[in-house]
Chains A and B, each alone.
Chain A
Amino acid sequence: MTETVTIRKRAQPKKRGSWSVYPYLFIAPFFVLFCVFGIYPILFSIVLSFQEWNGAPGAQQFVGLDNYTQLLRDNLFWESMFNTVTIFVMHFPIMMVAGLGLAVILNQNLLRFQGLWRALIFLPQLTSMVAAGITFRLIFEGQSGIANRLIGYFGISPVPWLDDVWWARVAISILLVWAWTGYQMVLFLAALQNIPPELNEAAMVDGANRWQVFWKITLPFLRPVMIFMLTVSVIGTFALYTEPTILTGGGPIHSTTTPTMEISGQAFANLKYGYAASLSYAYFAVVVVATVLQNRLTAWRRS
């Protein structure tokens, strides 16, 4: 009896202005961890980016804007930005079209074993990128790799997949398309299934053909999900690390080194923590600008 009374009491809405510690306690774990592992490193890196530090406790030295002026003329860093842009341009359109195509096919109930197909196409997403990287390395390896043997059957001469600046970027793009198309497909499928079937039917009744329905109804409905993919992919490509590290080691001649690889190399191989922090902020600025630009462009198209 007393128990129910207390519960009722608690359930009563509080007066305005009254304050209880419990709700804050309950959400505290997230915020504590976020502050320790999120906010603190971000703020610490800002300070660090104006310092020179080799990791020795208490040995930070303030160097003003030195790190930032140095990074402006750091060709390896800007090359790593350029590498990322080329890899993005190479893989994103293919991945998007393939994801959309697969989603449309699997949405039309034309195939048997639909669930199986979806699972198979999504499977690379669940694979460890390290294992995939090693496997792709074997596929692309020299003359004897499977890729070169395969195209050899069609009379094409071997391609220097990992030994040429541009082919190495192509190899990474192929790995990315393999790994991420399934993910795009799932997003497209979800969006496709949200399109009310009445719309398509109404259009058909009005005399539109399948192609017109796709262009005038389906695609506009998919626009939000496409913008989402674009944003996520831009950020994701700039943050690439595991795939190129395993597949190409960033080479040949630095051609597949991404900004994150460059930053971690400066910090942990060369022990230039301050400089690496300034690179992180330059990298952050570029990604923010890219994302904002993208949002502007897509918003402008909508209006």
Chain B
Amino acid sequence: MKNRTKLIATTTLTALAAGTLAFVSQAQNAANTDIKGEITLWAWKDPINALKVVDDEFSKAFPNVKIKYVQKSAGDVYTQLKLAFSAGTGGPDISLIEDSNLAQYASIGALADVTAKVKPYLKKMNAYKWTAATFKNRYYSMPWDSGPVAMYYRRDVFAKAGVDPASLKTWDAYLKAAKTIKDKTGVKMLPLSKARNDGRFFETLLWQQGAGYVNKAGAVILDKDARAKRALDLIANLWTGDLNQDLENWTDPWYKAIAEGEVATLPMAVWMGGFMKSWIAPKTSGQWGVLPLPTFSGSRSRASNDGGSHLAILEQSQNKEAAWAYIQFHLGRADSQLAMFKASDLFPSLESTYSDPIFNEADPYFGGQKYRQIFADAVKTVPTATVYTEDYAEINKLLSLELQKLALGKQALKDVLSNAAKAIRDRTRRP
């Protein structure tokens, strides 16, 4: 009965939403011929393929704007943006930039201030996304996709060990389950590199508790905040309990461990599900499930974020008006974002998309779970945290070094955070 009412409600809502969308798109159907010119966009392969899906619609709405895509590797995009900026010429009008790299470009003045333009979207996008787009209270980019984190788990491994996945409500329960699973099946709980740890999992755990490396005022908190201590303790416990597969992220043995059931869980972002389905572990269909993250004591948050990206206009651009028209059309409209989501698995930051039926589709890869809905629920509760600062690359590197020292027994657990904080303060001149 309950379900039925829910169904009716959902249908009505969807119909309503569709109606509104149709109305909006009709309003936009009147082609804008005033904005014209050619604009260039730099990005890597998958996002370009996603953006192109919307281009037919875009050229109907803006027949005089031509878009030129330049495909580069992410590393090349980042380096060449810096070189073009220093040279004063040679950059694109628009570039794809990940959240983790955004603030650096904003801080040096490479990006155009779009504060007035994004105002209407501040409430429409995931609120936490704007932290990375902001530098000194001005906005420099438009959010595209979000990286809400949840817990992927192997149904078969959990069943074999007799562990109920729903019992993973706290990280303590997670550690306990990890021991049971290891004892009963020999499978390790998750892949987590020791000597080559990149700090990303530590970051995810910080973010889950609403903390970053620094606070809002920019002061380093690692050695002063209990949340950082809790994140580190969890990692240390996983290592000392030998509950992890010691594998570096994005290497062949790591892919193999995931594909062949050598790890029971993956606390990772929504994009990982797309990668697993399409190329990392396509043969494990039906064996995976998704849960919200376990909580830390003293916090209720069951969501975190890892990665995500934005489109930004370069300060050098000679045609910022056309560039903004492009960005607004591709990222600001639910139609466009949904079309790109269906084509590419880039999870939209635009919250009005979450009412689309695609979020209610049962996915056989995840054992018939509505896994997109779990991430849509998670993304709305991701806390705001200052992780991706203008000196993020340096801070992340310095922290990773201290984690690696701990992993290799070259440093005591109690010294990790104070040494990391000291190194970061020393090199970034932060308080």
Contacts and interface: CB of A to CB of B under 8 A. Distances in A.
Interface of A: 54-57, 138, 141-142, 144, 160, 162-165, 249, 251-254, 265, 268-271
Contacts of B82: 55, 268, 271
12 contacts: A54-B108, A55-B86, A56-B110, A57-B85, A57-B86, A138-B252, A163-B195, A165-B408, A253-B405, A253-B408, A269-B393, A270-B394
- Which among A164, A249, A252, A265 has the highest number of chain B CB atoms within 10 Å? A252
Given A57-B86, A142-B247, A252-B404, A270 B196 contact: no
B26 interface: no
A228 B17 CA distance: 76
A47 to B, nearest CB: 15
A144 B194 CA distance: 17
Nearest to A268: B79
Q: Is the interface of A mostly helix, strand, loop or mixed?
A: loop
A163 B86 contact: no
Contact of B85 (A56, A141, A160, A162): A56
Interface string B384-405: 0000000101100100010011
B186 interface: no
B195 A252 contact: yes
A55 B110 CA distance: 10
Contact of B401 (A56, A253, A265, A269): A253
Nearest to A248: B196
B85 A142 contact: no
Nearest to B256: A144
A144 B253 CA distance: 8
Contacts of A165: 408
Contacts of B408: 163-165, 252-253
A185 B10 CA distance: 76
Interface in B38-95: 79, 82, 85-88
A163 B253 contact: no
B274 interface: no
B104 interface: yes
B253 A252 contact: no
A265 B396 CA distance: 13
Contacts of A253: 195, 401, 404-405, 408, 410
A162 B391 contact: no
Nearest to A73: B426
Contact of A56 (B86, B246, B252, B393): B86
